[in-house]
């Protein structure tokens, strides 16, 4: 007959080793993720300057500016993800607000870049000319913005001002 106490101890030890191993693996994944975000950001910044130089050389400054603006939206997205990664590494928490920010940035980029691509001839007029498609993107942006606002106002219970200790009183000399 098996001793339930030994099975319990073995299960607990095994669980501890499994959790520790997963914790280490997760840390390695976050290192890879952080390096990838930094490299991607650097490549996108280089692309931004490349877009600016090409626009200047082709004497298409307005169009080039808007293309470069689209690239900056990607930098903004990467910056949000890097900030979220820093917050996760520091506190172990990942906020839903980050996903909403990335969604808003993506929708804003689509609203700005797509018409520029149509004017530049990169996209056929029939691909994006639909008023309803543009309206749906605007509605999605509005919905995500409202969700972002609602989620952004939520403060975790441990961070609420009434849960924090009172500030130290200053002593005058």
Per-residue pLDDT for 148 more than 60?
yes
Do 64 and 54 contact (CB within 8 A), yes or no?
yes
Handedness of CA 75, 81, 84, 89 (dihedral sign): negative
Task: Provide the pLDDT for residue 96.
Answer: 85
- What mean pLDDT is predicted for residues 68-93? 87
114 within 8 A of 123, measured Cβ to Cβ: yes
Domain containing 145 equals: 24-154
Considering the domain boundaries, does residue 86 fall inside one? yes
pTM: 0.64
- Which of 30 and 66 is assigned the larger pLDDT? 30
Q: Token match 């990664």: residue?
A: 85
- Give the total number of structural domains in the chain: 1
Q: Is 113 part of a structural domain of the chain?
A: yes
Average pLDDT over residues 38-60: 89
What would the pLDDT profile of 93-134 be if each residue is shown by its tens digit? 878 888 898 899 989 888 887 776 666 666 666 655 566 777
> Residue 68 pLDDT > 50, yes or no?
yes
Type and span of the H or E element at 60: none
* Average pLDDT of the segment spanning 137-162: 75
Average pLDDT over residues 34-45: 93
13 falls within a domain: no
Q: Find the helix or strand (DSSP H, E) in which 113 lies.
A: helix 96-120
Q: What pLDDT sits at residue 173?
A: 46
Tally of CA atoms within 13 A in the half-sphere of 19 that contains its CB: 6
Q: Which contiguous run of DSSP H or E holds residue 156? A: none
Residue 38 has pLDDT above 70, yes or no: yes
pLDDT of residue 160: 47
pLDDT more than 70, % of the chain: 72
Q: Is residue 18 part of a domain?
A: no
Is residue 62 situated within a structural domain? yes
Listed in sequence order, the residues at least 6 apart from 134 whose beta carbon sits closer than 8 Å to its beta carbon are 111, 128
> Scanning the structure block, which residue is given the tokens 């808007």?
66
Task: For residue 17, tell me if it sits in a domain.
Answer: no
pLDDT band at 155 (very low <50, low <70, confident <90, very high): low
Give domain status of residue 159, yes or no: no
Q: Are 119 and 63 in contact (CB under 8 A)?
A: yes
Of 83, 85, 74, nearest to 40 by C-alpha is: 74
Give the separation between CA 150 and CA 118, rounded to whole angstroms: 35
Residue 169 located in a structural domain: no
- In this prediction, residues 154-161 reach a mean pLDDT of 50
Provide the b/e sequence for 116-143 (b: ≥16 CB within 10 Å): bbbeeeebeeeeeeeeeeeeebeebbee
């Amino acid at each position: 007959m098996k001793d339930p106490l030994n099975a319990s101890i073995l299960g607990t030890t095994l669980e501890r080793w499994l959790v520790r191993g997963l914790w280490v693996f997760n840390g390695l994944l976050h290192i890879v993720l952080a390096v990838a975000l930094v490299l991607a950001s650097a490549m996108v910044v280089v692309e931004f300057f490349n877009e600016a130089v090409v626009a200047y050389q082709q004497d298409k400054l307005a169009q080039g500016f808007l293309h470069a603006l689209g690239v900056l939206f990607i930098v903004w997205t990467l910056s949000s993800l890097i900030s979220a990664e820093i917050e996760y590494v520091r506190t172990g928490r990942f906020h839903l607000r980050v996903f909403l920010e990335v969604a808003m940035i993506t929708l804003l980029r689509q609203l700005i870049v797509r018409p520029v691509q149509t004017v530049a001839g990169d996209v056929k007029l029939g691909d994006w000319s639909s008023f309803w498609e543009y309206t749906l993107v605007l509605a999605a942006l509005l919905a995500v913005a409202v969700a972002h606002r609602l989620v952004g106002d939520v403060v975790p219970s441990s961070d609420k001002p009434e849960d924090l200790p009172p500030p130290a009183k200053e002593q005058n000399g």
